[in-house]
Amino acid sequence: MAKNGFQIIDSDMHVMEPTDLWERYMSPEYKARAPKSVPRHRGDLVMQVEGREMAAEAQWEIELAEDPEWLDSYADGLANGWDGPSQRRAMDSEGLDLAVLYPSRGLYALAVDGMDPGLGSAIAVAYNDWLYDFCATDRGRMLGAGMVSPFDVGSAVKEARRSVGMLGFKAVFMRPNVVNGINWYDARYDPLWAEIEELDVPLGFHEGSDAGVPQTGDRFLDDSWLMHHTCTHPMEMMLAVVSMVGGGVLARHPRLRVGFLEGNCSWAPWMLWRLDEHYELVGRHESPELAQEPTEYFKRQCWVSVEADEEPARSIEGSGLDGNVVFSTDYPHKDSKFPKAVEAFLGCGFSEEMKRKILWDNCMRMYGFGGSR
């Protein structure tokens, strides 16, 4: 299904989970504590988890949900409860050959710092079971990314193995936010990185604003969605890059692939330049396990996603990171350019070769798609 001559993989297409997902799929032991979706407006993501309410709608989102153009763009999903067939039709309308599916409401299901490890594991299992059923619409094109809980590394290892080995998912994901005060480079996470490395799928980091975990931009949350949301997604990804690269995770796990999704990409050359500069200054003292500059680990093992209309990302072309950028429509979120996300991207000014890399080649490498899926 080529569009304008390009094959296209959406590295980070979202599902819109049903409001009763966890009520239906949670194990009996934890059903009474299941996350609750409490939507108040069309397409909102408001969740209640362990007494914490998250993902409150900004005023512009509330108003957009009544806009005739928005309602027309998402009429199919809204009318059909965001089901599998409407997801596939959305893919068709954008010209997507393949899409790796990440959550919407599920981005908040584990976003409570200090969560009971058993509850966190049960939430992840329930989501993955639902996603497996959802992907039955078209398993050849709708590809799952499995949720794993950071609150219990042993259970996360088992769920990553089940998600990939039994459910056939093509990635595992977590939020980039540090939980329980433990940075990603802490050795306690190494068994999980080793398992993901062995499974030969990427780890996708994906942020969601207004959550119950520490976030860059929290100082603005009570006053301004504009300031808060400007910070959360890209800056949490920057911190995750610093942790995974500068903290030696990629050096210790040379086959681990990592995607930093929905956090823009235009910052990457600068951030890596700064990491390299500091490595030159103090690397031999503070990071002896890094045998080369941080940028080299990033080039070898990492990808960042470009927003459909992220025109500043043109600066990446020729920066040495041409092979490390992937595409996303961000469907069906309210800041998505759907159903014209691909069209917007094609108008950003990249060369034809760079477009092909971003829309297909780089994502094929990140997800390890070869001759078979």
- The model's pLDDT over 1-55, given as tens digits with 9 standing for 90+, comes to 668 899 999 999 999 999 999 999 999 999 999 999 988 888 889 999 999 999 9
In 3D space, the residue among 89, 119, 107, 273 whose CA is nearest the CA of residue 175 turns out to be 107
Structure tokens at 102: 């990440």
Distance CA 119, CA 104 (A): 19
Task: Quote the pLDDT of residue 372.
Answer: 38
Task: Quote the pLDDT of residue 373.
Answer: 38
Q: Is 72 helix (H, G, I), strand (E, B) or coil?
A: helix
In 3D space, the residue among 300, 321, 310 whose CA is nearest the CA of residue 365 turns out to be 300
Q: Which residues contact 228 (CB under 8 A, 6 or more apart)?
A: 209, 210, 215, 217, 218, 220, 221
Task: Quote the pLDDT of residue 56.
Answer: 86
Distance CA 342, CA 234 (A): 21
β partners of residue 182? 179
Distance CA 215, CA 207 (A): 9
Kindly report the average pLDDT of the chain as a whole number: 96
- Position 272: which residue type? L
Distance CA 33, CA 37 (A): 12
The answer on pLDDT for 102 being more than 50 is: yes
Task: Quote the pLDDT of residue 281.
Answer: 95
CATH of 9-367, one of 3.60.10.10, 3.30.390.30, 3.20.20.140, 3.90.550.10: 3.20.20.140
- Position 62: which residue type? I
Task: Quote the pLDDT of residue 85.
Answer: 99
Whether 19 contacts 82, CB under 8 Å: no
The answer on pLDDT for 188 being more than 60 is: yes
Distance CA 32, CA 46 (A): 19
The answer on pLDDT for 170 being more than 60 is: yes
- CA-CA-CA-CA torsion sign (306, 233, 239, 153): negative
Mean pLDDT score, 49-63: 90
Whether 315 contacts 269, CB under 8 Å: yes
Which helix (H) or strand (E) segment is 103 a member of? none
Q: Write the DSSP assignment of 37-61 as a string of letters.
A: E---STT---EEETTEEE-PPPHHH
Predicted TM-score (pTM) of this structure: 0.97
The answer on pLDDT for 265 being more than 90 is: yes
Task: Quote the pLDDT of residue 37.
Answer: 93
Cβ atoms within 10 A of the Cβ of 99, count? 26
Q: Which residues contact 67 (CB under 8 A, 6 or more apart)?
A: none
The answer on pLDDT for 162 being more than 90 is: yes
Mean pLDDT score, 141-162: 99
